[in-house]
Amino acid sequence: MPTDNFEYDVAFSFHSLDENIAFEINDRLQDRYRTFLYSEKQKDLAGRNGEDKFNEIFRAKAKFVVILYRKEWGETPFTKIEQRAIRDRAYDEGYGFTLFIPTENKPTMPPWVERTRLYYSLERFGVDGAAAVVESKLQELGTAPVIEGARDRAQRLERSLIFKTEKENFEHSEAGAQAGSKAYIAVLTLMQGQVADLALSSPRLKPLHMEQRNNYWLLYGLGPWVLFNWTNRYSNVLDKAFLEAQYFYNQPQVPGLMTWEEPRKMKLFRYPFALLRPGVSGFLDNGSDKREFSVEGLAEQLLKTHMDEVENFKGR
């Protein structure tokens, strides 16, 4: 394929859960290479046939493709298109134009990629290392970087400083506090509807129930109990604000609900709320992978976590 036909040096394909990683790698490359990151190119794609455009980019217009891989990748509308385009291209060229970066704690690769294909260890080498590997691969493919001069580096620094200020202003604003509270309610309200649907879907899931008690939410019925709460030190700023999911072996103490036994705690999950990128707020996983979650993404994550806990539950 002639080099002149490439519109981008590198394109990123990722699930929304890994958008923060894609942004970080892209930020280290975009001043020296032509990069494609969907969130950054939405205006360019507005009004076009999304499926055709995405297929074209990953099939022919990007010289190199970075796939941030997790098991959910390839299941969303756009990543399905991207996966199909990548596999079609690999049928003709092999997978030399790709770099797979597993993003889950237990790294896996797609079953359709040859077993000898190596992947990049994000956990071991980090984002800076990932950007360096991408740059090395591009140079192997004959793509020379635009040398980052002092002005380019200053622009990158300026972006970082501007966002740092925006993040601090968001955290110290009433608008930030209100956004966090609304996002918490939205997550739990969405979960309540999903739990009701699951309970109706199968006799085995019928005991599953979720309800609101004052400012708390309870999820129970298949073994463990979960008490959800929104914690924020002040009402007019975001200060150590997070959605908390406390698991219990038995019924927890909640105002207005009789408790016959001393509650026994199992485990605790916390998801801080913050400004993730300019104009985008959401929740963060406090674990090692620091994943980001939208309202919909966190509702799904909490339900999947609960199913795991139910499956492994042994009452004491």
Residue 211 φ/ψ, nearest 5 degrees: -145, 160
Residue 236 neighbours by CB under 8 Å, 6+ apart: 174, 177
pLDDT at 120: 81
Over the Cα atoms of the chain, what is R_g? 23
pLDDT at 40: 53
Residues written for the chain: 316
Residue 263 token pair: 């509650």
pLDDT at 287: 65
pLDDT at 48: 52
pLDDT at 1: 39
CB 207 within 8 Å of CB 199: yes
pLDDT at 290: 65
pLDDT at 289: 57
For strands 216-220 and 225-231, give the pairing.
Answer: antiparallel
Measured CA distances, 205 to 109, 136, 198, 247, 307 (Å): 32, 51, 6, 19, 10
Three-state secondary structure of 223-234: CCEEEEEEECCC
Distance CA 281, CA 175 (A): 11
CB 225 within 8 Å of CB 250: yes
Distance CA 219, CA 208 (A): 7
pLDDT tens series, the chain, 316 aa: 334 579 999 999 999 888 888 988 998 898 889 999 986 554 455 445 667 788 899 999 999 999 999 989 998 888 999 999 999 999 999 999 999 999 887 888 888 888 767 778 887 788 889 999 999 999 999 888 887 778 878 888 898 899 899 999 999 999 999 999 999 999 999 999 999 999 999 999 999 999 998 888 999 999 999 999 999 888 889 888 999 999 999 999 888 777 788 899 999 999 999 998 888 899 988 765 567 888 988 998 899 999 999 998 876 5
pLDDT at 124: 79
**Selection from 295, 274, 291 nearest residue 20 by Cα:** 291
Q: Which residue has the tokens 């209100």?
A: 178
Cβ burial of 74 (10 Å; 0-12, 13-18, 19+) is: buried
CB 301 within 8 Å of CB 190: no
How many Cα atoms occupy the beta-carbon half-sphere of 251 within 13 Å?
A: 10
57-132-80 Cα angle (round to 5):
30
What sign does the CA torsion over 66, 70, 74, 78 have? negative
pLDDT at 38: 82
pLDDT at 43: 47
